[in-house]
Structure 1
């Protein structure tokens, strides 16, 4: 499929995922604990997708093999990823966090090679090296981090794309054949909401609506709706256009993450940010366009 025909969907998906870190920072600044914010986002989007499945008469399988997949994908791709993100975001710029996200497909390729799922070639290896070089440059003085003392938090934030890559590998290895994508997404989000509730209660970050400032409360349904729409668009792209074109949303995620960070928080990146982003984009292109 021509990428121009899918451009609107790619822009919607990338804009939502690029905006999410900034909304999380806003909500946390308004008194919503990070894990509580993630719980309501997961639960609200899970209910939205479940209702769509019901309307379309798409069953959500509950056999053991499906439950194992929901749990593994929900834990790695949502609960642990958001635990890392919401712990790191109060300390680092949202724009820098966005620069980390293209590492996910690169790490997925490396993991798939290590697991024997596919062969690692020079193009993929070179793309991954460029991506890591770009992130390293983004951490340098005069780039995306305003203070060198934040490198520890930046390295911790890099665990987020590691979690996403683990979720991708789990999807390739454990996803039951024949499961409708929307049903898989709904089941995964239900599992993610359960994990977020447990983590929130255990770490004292569960949120009861009404306890935060009005802005924080207003962002809860906004993020839930955005997450649900993003999953709808994502799986629609996978079905219509395939994984290669869908992966191009990574460019939009990074660009919009930087833009939203500048618009909402007044973040200003240093002169080295542009070459850092260029290296990341070059690496992403090499990894996701391997034909």
Structure 2
């Protein structure tokens, strides 16, 4: 019973994290449809969520450390996991379906597993590799004809969007490698969001995307900021408790929830291949997150 409890412990936060992040394309496409430029969308959400977490830190009596190690962590995590990922992803989302974009995100777990193996950061077992392959197979199946990319003319933007999981994988790896010891996840999340918000604001100014926008988008942007703050708290808590490889598997959940959000919000109806694809995705998630002790005889 204790082994089963430990095995299932990572799943609830991963499911919640994937559900929240899966809604991101919905926010972006909703705001983009009324004229908000992508970098302004990202900068406003990051600034709002950073302010929330900084205030929460102060309420809990937590200071934001400014040592060289902490500043390096904030800068690298904020640049890769927030600024660059949102620059690519939010721009591409104005040209590809939300559901399709969600299908690309699980490339991040595969790249995270490969990167962790190359860097010697985690023991990557055959079972975890098999889980990653199954999850990736599910994503590729969902991208087949009759699935989620309706127009071949969108392919250049789809390829550009594929850079997003590269940024997420780099963030997964560097956030663990550079994380200062004994720093609460809430503090790391607040520092990362603050650094990312600054980087996004600079990019938005340089890109000429700071301008007046329709005010009816403000409530949507505020809700996005709340969701981003919650997601980053969950993300850093999971990184500290379960590591980068397991945490990266939230990308598979984003595939399913992103398709669901696209269906509910934009009537993007995926083809029947989504069902077997989803089964492969969740099979891969289970293989990666369940502990290897139960499969030790087979070398996992």
Which residue does 1:99 correspond to in 2? 103
CA contact (8 A) 2:106 2:136 kept: no
2:167 is equivalent to residue 155 of structure 1: no
User: Relative to structure 2, which stretch is displaced further, 270-279 or 157-166?
Assistant: 270-279
Q: TM-score, normalised by structure 1?
A: 0.88
Which residue does 2:169 correspond to in 1? 165
Which residue does 2:198 correspond to in 1? 194
Query: Structure 1: which 5+ residue stretches go unaligned?
Result: none
Output the CA distance in 1 between the equivalents of 2:219 and 2:154. Answer: 30
CA contact (8 A) 2:252 2:281 kept: no
Output the CA distance in 1 between the equivalents of 2:115 and 2:246. Answer: 21
CA contact (8 A) 2:88 2:161 kept: yes
Match of 1:25 among 29, 32, 35: 29
CA contact (8 A) 1:261 1:267 kept: yes
2:124 is equivalent to residue 123 of structure 1: no
Which residue does 2:298 correspond to in 1? none
Which residue does 1:61 correspond to in 2? 65
Q: Structure 1 residues 190, 247: CA separation in 2 closer, same or farther (over 3 Å shift)?
A: same
Alignment of 1:1-291 (within 5 A): 1=5, 12-207=16-211, 211-236=212-237, 242-243=242-243, 249-289=250-290, 291=292
Cα offsets for 1:46-97 (capped at 9, x unmatched): 1111111111111111011111111000000001111111111112111122
Q: Structure 1 residues 64, 102: CA separation in 2 closer, same or farther (over 3 Å shift)?
A: same
- The offset of 1:225, in angstroms, is 1.5
Q: Structure 1 residues 131, 14: CA separation in 2 closer, same or farther (over 3 Å shift)?
A: closer
Output the CA distance in 2 between the equivalents of 1:193 and 1:288. Answer: 31
Q: Structure 1 residues 286, 269: CA separation in 2 closer, same or farther (over 3 Å shift)?
A: same
Cα offsets for 1:10-38 (capped at 9, x unmatched): 55433321111111111011111111111
Q: Structure 1 residues 77, 152: CA separation in 2 closer, same or farther (over 3 Å shift)?
A: same
CA contact (8 A) 1:88 1:157 kept: yes
Query: Structure 2: which 5+ residue stretches go unaligned?
Result: 293-300
- The offset of 1:186, in angstroms, is 0.7
Output the CA distance in 2 between the equivalents of 1:77 and 1:23. Answer: 18
Q: Structure 1 residues 5, 107: CA separation in 2 closer, same or farther (over 3 Å shift)?
A: closer
Q: Structure 1 residues 177, 44: CA separation in 2 closer, same or farther (over 3 Å shift)?
A: same
Cα offsets for 1:213-256 (capped at 9, x unmatched): 233232121111221122234445566x6458766644543322
Output the CA distance in 2 between the equivalents of 1:149 and 1:197. Answer: 31
Q: Structure 1 residues 121, 81: CA separation in 2 closer, same or farther (over 3 Å shift)?
A: same
CA contact (8 A) 1:41 1:220 kept: yes
Q: Structure 1 residues 237, 116: CA separation in 2 closer, same or farther (over 3 Å shift)?
A: closer
SS at 2:172 equivalent: helix
